[in-house]
Amino acid sequence: MSKFRKENKKGAPGVNTSSLPDIVFMLLFFFMVATTTKESDPTVEVKRPEGVSATDLTPYKQRSEIDFLYIGQPRNKARAADFKLGHALFLDNVAQPQPGELYSTNSIAQWKLDKMNQKPSNMNEPISNVITCIKADQGVPTILIFDIREALQNINALKIAYAVEDKSAI
């Protein structure tokens, strides 16, 4: 009799949670490996146009063979009038053009060359093979894209990519 009573007195045994950290770390590592980080938050608004059959740029990002530049209306609406056709350029790691300096494609060449110098040493591609990805807003007038192209052509950075939101069925 007493034997049984003794055992019933105990509550439910606690769940052994010592392996929980293992599982959490596994998830953490998965996300660490699977994510690529965004370079920076652009100060211009970019809503990408839609398209199909676009190339996935992830492999290029992993090999750092790509630089991103953004073009769209500035988030600070008051400054919109300072730029050519109301659209500003955003280059990461570069001081933004001052209102007096206006929109200028002159800064692209310097930015691209700076970017080339910052590449990891295992990236051996010449500048003509390093992609410049143009992330442009839907409403950007195409002349601005051609301005960018011309600036890149002058420094022989000949590979470009037009960013779109891929709508093809996966």
Partner 1 sequence: MAKRDIPEINAGSMADIAFLLLIFFLVTTTMEKDTAYIRYIPQKLEDVPPPPEIENRNIFEIKANSANQLMIRGEIIENPDDISERVLEFYRMNEKLTASQTQAYIQNSSYKGIDFPFYSRVTMQGIDDEINRNTDELERAEADDDENLITFYTKVLKDWDKKKAALKTLGGRELVEIHPQAHVRIVVQQQTEYKLFAKIHSEIQEALIELRDEAAQEYFDDTYSKMTKRLDQDKDDKKGDRKKVAALEVLFPERIIEVKPN
Give just the sign of the alpha carbon dihedral 15, 21, 23, 28. Answer: positive
Does position 131 bind partner 1 by CB under 8 A? yes
Q: Closer to partner 1 at the Cβ: 23 or 99?
A: 23
Distance in Å, CB of 3 to partner 1, minimum: 26
* DSSP string covering 97-117: PPTTT-S-THHHHHHHHHHHH
How many angstroms separate the Cα of 109 from the Cα of each of 4, 37, 47? 84, 24, 25
Distance in Å, CB of 30 to partner 1, minimum: 9
Considering only residues 28 to 67 of the shown chain, the ones binding partner 1 according to CB under 8 A are: 34-35, 49-59, 61
Q: Please give the Cα distance from 60 to 32 (Å, whole number).
A: 18
Does position 94 bind partner 1 by CB under 8 A? no
- Kindly list the residues in this chain that would bind partner 1 in the complex (CB under 8 A): 12, 14-15, 17, 20, 23, 27, 34-35, 49-59, 61, 131, 133, 136-143, 145-146, 149-150, 152-154, 156-166
